[in-house]
Amino acid sequence: MKSYLFVLAGVAVCAAGGSALAQNAPLTLTSPDQQLVMHFAIQPSKDAKSGGGKLVYSLTFHGKQVLDDSGLALELGDQAPLGSDVSIVGSDAGQGIDDYTLMNAKVSKVHDAYRSLAVHVQENGGGHRAMTVEARAYDGGVAFRYLLPAQDAMKELQLKQEDTEFRLSMDATDWALALPSYRSSYESEYVQLPTTAFSNQGGVSSHFLIGMPLLMHEPGVAWMSLMEADLEGSSAMYVTNPSGNWAGHWFVSKLSPRFDNADLAVQGTLPHHSAWRVFMVADDPGRLVESTLVYDLSPASRVADTSWIHPGKASWNWWVGDVGKDGKPAFTTDNMKYYVDFSADSGFPYMMLDAGWAAGRDITKMNGKIDVPELVRYAATKHVKVWIWLYSESVMDQMKEAFPLYEKWGVAGIKIDFINRDDQRGIQFYYDVAREAAEHHLMVDFHGTHTPWGLERTYPNVMSYEGVLGMENNKVGRRDSPVDRTVFPFTRLIAGPMDYTAGGFNNATEDGFQARNVNPMVMGTRAQQLALFVIYQTPFQMVSDSPQAYADQPAFQFIKDVPASWDATHVLNGRPGEFATIARQSGDEWYLGSMTNWTPRTLEIPLNFLGKGSYTAQIYEDAADADKNPKDVTIRKQSVRGTGTLTLHLAAGGGCAIRFIPQKGR
């Protein structure tokens, strides 16, 4: 990073130790393209001493106000919030470029320029505590975090709460993941409501917490997404609207409290830095999906040898109720070998063995139903590797003993479920698992989990996360539908890989759907299920239905062909809750997925993402009668070029999936 000096509003910007005088003139940070401008200032207060006041920031985009003056403060111990009566004592400015490669992600190469500003403040009274707010501005958003240096006024970190405000310039439309408590699996709908509706006077119960990511739209101004990155040493952030005012359109942070002491969120030593608060801003929601800011702000890989980490699709026994080749459920080693055979015949590298094999809570012993080492041995003869399911609390107790055992057995990966916590120790659990698993060549898929925050860049053996209202809900109710599926690309998916577990081939109309546990149905068309393998990015991709469901089905070819990791991602169109079309590149091929809610649509898709040359488009689309017979898929081929367009006809609850193969010599 190259550092330099700014001169702002006639005030020389200098390092924290470079001046003993308070410098309360506003400071400005501008994105490289100059479209995002972040301001830091001291908001005078009648209670402040020596000309100080409240530390605030604001944000404009294309010259329009996005965030009004919003407070920045930390509640530490039993003292007044640090940030409520401070002066700016200096600042450092810089710039840099995040240039790196990603494994098994939505892109393989990243090159993001940014400008940075560190704002140093000091408390005017009390112990004269010091704090720095470090900020970065990219072309696609801004991020900031709190830095607490070692200092005489504080011997240890006792963080009760973080009072970070996000004061929207207008009553935005939000797609909010409303959660009931700090202990949840992040598996719920994203509720579309104005910001004012989340105040305790706005009609939505004020006890709800809003989980990350939060999607917001200020009409005529911007689309925004709020999330976080680099949580190591911290607890997770939620937001609420505390305004108590029917006209209040702002949020404030709420940190997940520790389980052992609910009065504290984070406990530790100094120096300390918080997680990054990431605020993406764009003209169109698709640009938010393409963003890599969460990865930019996460530490680089700590796994030296990654040669054993591979993306891929997996057969799965649980969703269909362990149905065997005779059509009857059986949780036995022989029946699991049937799923291994299916993976081998389909070209899938993995088989996912779900819950029920361990001896109760002891994950170092088997209960006699499944012989895991024998299943792994058999799978190896078929060039297939096995993942196994684990209960999170057992992992917390036994990972040091269990992970070396799984390595000895030859297990490829572990799916850890029902974590349901994101307090400081809960977040540390993710890092401990990722590190310990990497030491024993185990890939990881987190379920019952907080949404991603960039951990998979630091530990690329972390392949995926659930944290979504997935297809499993078809087994018990109607909560999974094409409506929510068209929300997730612009909400949950922005945070990172999403193990939604697509691939249901028992497709039903909205009226014809019935929830059932064995051989479950899915609402919407088969072509939409194919499209999800492109739209929903995850390097560990479930192929959820039974082998019988895919037998002799021509549309299954797309699932066999589609990759599980990508070199480039382009969102071609879409609106949350309505429709989405995403194109992704793998090598010299491109894949496209498009889907709609219950409204049929005709979409014109420019193909300029293809670049030069001709391609053969293998198109899997809703048949003419798919609105009544949603299993019907039309498969055709067409020669296309990047200068042309494709017309997609999507049925109600429908979709389209396309593979683009370069034509040689053209």
Task: Tokens for 290, please give them.
Answer: 């393409």
pLDDT tens digits for range 452-506: 999 999 999 999 999 999 999 999 999 999 999 999 999 999 999 999 999 999 9
58, two tokens: 């604001």
Domain assignment of residue 380, yes or no? no
| Sign of the CA dihedral running 444, 445, 447, 449 | positive
Cis peptide bond N-terminal to 329, omega within 30: no
Between CA 80 and CA 78 the distance in angstroms is: 7
Number of domains in the chain: 2
Q: Can you tell me the distance from the alpha carbon of 141 to that of 37, in angstroms, rounded to the nearest whole number?
A: 10
Q: What is the pLDDT of residue 479?
A: 95
Please tell me the distance from the alpha carbon of residue 449 to that of residue 257, in angstroms, as a whole number.
16
- Contact yes or no for 40/117 (Cβ under 8 A): yes
- pLDDT value at residue 21: 42
Mark which of 236, 271, 294 sits at the end of a domain. Answer: 294
Residue 255 resides in a domain = yes
CB 536 within 8 A of CB 591: no
User: Residues 183, 235: contact at Cβ < 8 Å?
Assistant: no
pLDDT (0 to 100) of residue 6: 31
Joined together, the tokens standing for residue 136 give: 């970065």
Q: How many CB atoms lie within 10 A of CB 276?
A: 26
Residue 261 covered by a domain: yes
Give the pLDDT of residue 2. 32
474 belongs to a structural domain: no
CA gap 308, 304 in Å, rounded = 11
Distance CA 403, CA 257 (A): 29
Classify residue 230: in a domain, yes or no.
Answer: yes
Domain boundary among 294, 316, 346: 294
Residues facing residue 508 across a β-bridge = 523
User: Which residue ranges of the chain lie beneath pLDDT 70?
Assistant: 1-23, 47-50, 201-207, 666
**Torsions phi, psi for 382 (to 5 deg):** -105, 10
Characterize the bridge pairing of strands 312-316 and 540-543: parallel
Judge whether 281 lies within some domain. yes
Is there a domain that residue 62 lies in?
yes
Identify any residues that bridge with 571 across adjacent strands, giving them in sequence order: 582
Question: Cα–Cα distances in Å, from 404 out to 31, 53, 59?
Answer: 47, 55, 49
CA distances for 331 relative to 42, 343, 373, 496, 635, angstroms: 64, 17, 16, 32, 36
> Residue 622: what pLDDT?
98
- pLDDT of 48: 60
> Virtual CA dihedral for 651, 654, 656, 657, nearest 10 degrees?
-160
Last residue of a domain, one of 240, 268, 294: 294
Q: What is the CATH number of the domain that holds 11?
A: 2.70.98.10
- The per-residue pLDDT for 628 is 98
309 and 104 in contact (C-beta within 8 Å)? yes
Buried b / exposed e across 371-398, counting CB within 10 Å, b at 16+? bbbebbebbeeeebbbbbbbbbebbbeb
Compute, in degrees rounded to 10, the torsion defined by CA atoms 555, 556, 561, 564. Answer: 120
pLDDT of residue 7: 30
pLDDT, position 245: 82
Residue 624 lies in domain: 511-538+554-666
CATH number at residue 646: 2.60.40.1180
360, part of any domain? no
